[in-house]
C-alpha cells in the first residue's frame, strides 16, 4: 500500500482500514483542493434550493462551492420542507437524490409533542429561564429531529471525515452532534438571544470537534454562553457572490426616483427592527423640513407606515436580484437596523456596490463589520441616527470612500474563493489531526 503523509499514521493508528489511504492535501494547479479525505456530511433540518433564510442560503452556497473546488460533500437532512412547514411532516420522499452534483440524503422526521414544545418555547421567548430539565428536553424533542438520520450517521460514520451542522438552534444539530462528537463541526449562526442559554446546547457543544463562526462578535457570544475550551474554533465568515454588476441610474429611471434616498433591504418585520428605521426617519424629516430624502424598502413582509410618511417611503416589495443590486448602487446608504444578525448579506452587497451602511450599534456582528471594514457608521439612539444620516448624505467623498473600504473588505474576506480556502483548510485540519 502507498504511504502518503500523516494520513498513513492516522490510518495505521486507528486500525480502521477501509482499504483507502487517507492521502495528503495538495492545491491543484487548476484551483481545486485535493483533500484526499472522506466525505463531508452537512447536517441541517431541511434543505432546498429555493427556500428562504440566511443559514439556508449560506449552506447552499457553501456546499456548492466546496463541491466545485473538489471536496466531496453530501447533505444529510430530513424530509421537512422548510422552517414554516410542519416540522413533523415529510414533504419530500425519504431517500437519496443527486441535485446539481450534490448528493442529498433525506430522512423521515420524528413525530413531535407540539404542546410540550410550545410551552417551553413560550417560556424561552418570554425570558423565563432557566427551564427545568424536562422543559429543555421537551423543547429539543419537539424541534426537528430524525432518528433515522441519527442511525444513518452512526452506522456510516466511517465514510465521513466530518459532520458539519448548521444552524445551532434545531434538534438535528443539538441531538445530531451527540452521535459522533469527535467528528462534529458546528457552524452555529447564532447571536445574542435566549435560546443560547439552554444548558443542553452548552453540554453538547462543549464536546464537539470544531466550531466555525461568521464573525468575531459571534464567537465572543458563543464563548460567553458555552464552554468551548476543548473545541477547535475559527472565525471563517460566510460567502458572498461578488460577480455582479450594478447600475444606480437604471434603478432611478425604472422606479422614477430622482431624490436622495436611504435603502432598507430585507424582511419588513418588527423583529428586524424596521419600525425603528421608520420612526427615526419620520422624526428626521420633521426636524429637517428642507430635506428631500426618501426611504426605499425592498423585501417581503407587511408593515404599517405612519401617515406623515406618505410620499416619502417607497415600498417596492420583492424585486429581482438585478434591481436589488441597482438599488444599492443608487442609494445614498443602506440602513440595517436589525439588532439580531449573525452575518447580514445585505450590508456586504451594499459594499460591493460601493455604498456605505448604517447599522444598529447593539448588533455586535454588523457593528464589528462596519468598524473593521471602515465601511459604515452605527447608531444607538435617534440622535446618532440623524447625525449619521446627515454625515453620510452631505459628505459624498467620505461616503464613497466608506463604500470602497467596505468593498475591499468583502472581497478580501468573503469572496467565495476566500471562503472555500478557509473552510477547506479548517476541515482538513480537523480531519487530519
Partner 1 sequence: MSGNRQDVDRVMQQLQDRIAAEGHTEAELEEARKLAYLDGSGKGPEFFYPELAAKVRYLDTHYENPILFAPEGNPVKRGFQKVIQKLVGFTFFRAFRHQNAFNKEVAAATAELAAFIRMQEKENAALRERVEALEAERKK
Site for partner 1 in 113-142 (CB under 8 A): 127
Q: Does 383 engage in binding with partner 1 (CB under 8 A)? A: yes
| Residue from the set 291, 384, 421, 432 that interacts with partner 1 by CB under 8 A | 384
Grid cell of 9 as nine digits? 499514521
| Residue from the set 25, 77, 143, 373 that interacts with partner 1 by CB under 8 A | 373
Q: Does 360 engage in binding with partner 1 (CB under 8 A)? A: yes
Local structure of 107: helix, strand or coil? strand
Local structure of 233: helix, strand or coil? strand
Q: Does 171 engage in binding with partner 1 (CB under 8 A)? A: no
Asked if residues 228 and 205 have their Cβ atoms less than 8 Å apart, the reply is yes
Q: How far apart are CA 84 and CA 407, in angstroms?
A: 34
| Residue from the set 160, 379, 414, 416 that interacts with partner 1 by CB under 8 A | 379
Per-residue mark of binding to partner 1, 28-67 (x: CB under 8 A): ----------------------------------------
- How near is the Cβ of 360 to partner 1 at its closest, in Å? 7
Grid cell of 53 as nine digits? 433564510
Asked if residues 73 and 42 have their Cβ atoms less than 8 Å apart, the reply is yes
**Part of the chain binding partner 1 (CB under 8 A), chosen from 12-20, 94-102, 137-145, 269-277:** 269-277
The Cβ of residue 238 has, within 10 Å, a number of other Cβ atoms equal to 25
**Part of the chain binding partner 1 (CB under 8 A), chosen from 106-114, 253-261, 379-387, 420-428:** 379-387
The single-letter DSSP state of residue 256 is: T
| Residue from the set 374, 393, 421, 432 that interacts with partner 1 by CB under 8 A | 374
Q: Does 417 engage in binding with partner 1 (CB under 8 A)? A: no
Q: How far apart are CA 376 and CA 367, in angstroms?
A: 9
SS3 content of the chain, % helix, strand, coil (to 5): 45, 15, 40
Q: What is the dihedral of CA 266, 270, 276, 277, to 10 degrees?
A: 20
Residues that bind partner 1 (CB under 8 A): 127, 269-273, 275-276, 279-280, 283, 301-304, 337-340, 360, 362, 370-371, 373-385, 387-388, 391, 398, 401-402, 404-405, 408-409, 412
Amino acid at each position: 500500500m502507498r504511504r502518503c503523509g500523516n494520513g498513513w499514521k492516522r490510518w495505521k493508528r486507528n486500525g480502521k482500514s477501509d482499504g483507502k489511504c487517507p492521502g495528503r492535501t495538495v492545491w491543484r494547479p487548476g484551483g481545486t483542493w485535493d483533500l484526499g479525505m472522506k466525505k463531508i456530511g452537512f447536517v441541517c433540518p431541511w434543505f432546498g434550493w429555493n427556500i428562504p433564510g440566511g443559514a439556508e442560503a449560506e449552506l447552499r452556497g457553501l456546499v456548492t462551492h466546496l463541491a466545485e473546488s473538489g471536496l466531496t460533500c453530501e447533505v444529510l437532512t430530513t424530509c421537512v420542507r422548510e422552517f414554516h412547514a410542519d416540522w413533523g411532516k415529510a414533504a419530500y420522499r425519504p431517500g437519496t437524490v443527486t441535485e446539481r452534483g450534490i448528493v442529498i440524503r433525506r430522512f423521515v422526521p420524528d413525530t413531535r409533542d407540539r404542546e410540550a414544545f410550545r410551552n417551553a418555547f413560550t417560556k424561552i421567548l418570554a425570558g423565563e429561564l432557566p427551564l427545568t430539565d424536562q422543559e429543555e428536553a421537551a423543547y429539543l424533542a419537539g424541534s426537528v429531529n430524525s432518528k433515522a438520520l441519527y442511525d444513518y450517521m452512526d452506522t456510516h460514520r466511517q465514510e465521513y471525515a466530518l459532520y458539519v451542522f448548521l444552524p445551532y438552534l434545531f434538534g438535528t444539530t443539538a441531538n445530531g452532534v451527540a452521535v459522533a462528537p469527535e467528528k462534529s463541526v458546528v457552524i452555529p449562526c447564532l447571536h445574542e438571544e435566549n435560546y443560547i442559554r439552554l444548558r443542553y446546547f452548552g453540554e453538547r457543544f462543549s464536546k464537539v470537534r470544531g466550531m466555525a463562526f461568521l464573525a468575531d462578535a459571534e464567537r465572543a457570544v458563543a464563548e460567553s454562553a458555552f464552554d468551548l475550551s476543548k473545541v477547535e474554533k475559527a472565525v471563517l465568515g460566510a460567502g458572498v457572490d461578488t460577480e455582479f454588476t450594478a447600475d444606480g441610474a437604471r434603478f432611478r429611471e425604472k422606479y422614477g426616483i430622482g431624490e436622495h434616498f436611504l435603502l432598507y433591504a430585507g424582511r419588513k418585520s418588527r423583529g428586524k427592527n424596521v419600525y425603528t428605521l421608520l420612526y427615526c426617519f419620520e422624526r428626521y424629516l420633521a426636524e429637517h423640513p428642507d430635506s428631500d430624502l426618501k426611504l426605499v424598502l425592498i423585501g417581503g413582509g407587511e408593515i404599517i407606515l405612519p401617515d406623515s410618511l406618505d410620499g416619502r417611503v417607497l415600498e417596492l416589495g420583492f424585486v429581482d436580484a438585478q434591481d436589488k443590486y441597482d438599488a444599492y448602487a443608487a442609494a445614498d446608504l443602506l440602513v440595517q437596523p436589525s439588532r439580531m444578525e449573525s452575518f447580514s448579506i445585505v450590508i456586504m452587497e451594499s459594499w460591493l456596490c460601493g455604498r456605505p451602511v448604517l447599522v444598529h450599534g447593539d448588533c455586535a456582528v454588523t457593528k464589528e463589520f462596519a468598524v473593521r471594514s471602515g465601511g459604515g457608521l452605527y447608531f444607538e439612539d435617534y440622535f446618532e441616527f440623524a447625525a449619521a444620516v446627515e454625515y453620510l448624505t452631505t459628505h459624498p467623498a467620505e461616503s464613497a470612500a466608506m463604500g470602497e473600504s467596505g468593498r475591499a473588505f468583502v472581497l478580501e474576506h468573503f469572496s467565495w474563493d476566500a471562503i472555500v480556502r478557509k473552510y477547506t483548510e479548517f476541515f482538513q485540519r480537523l480531519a487530519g489531526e
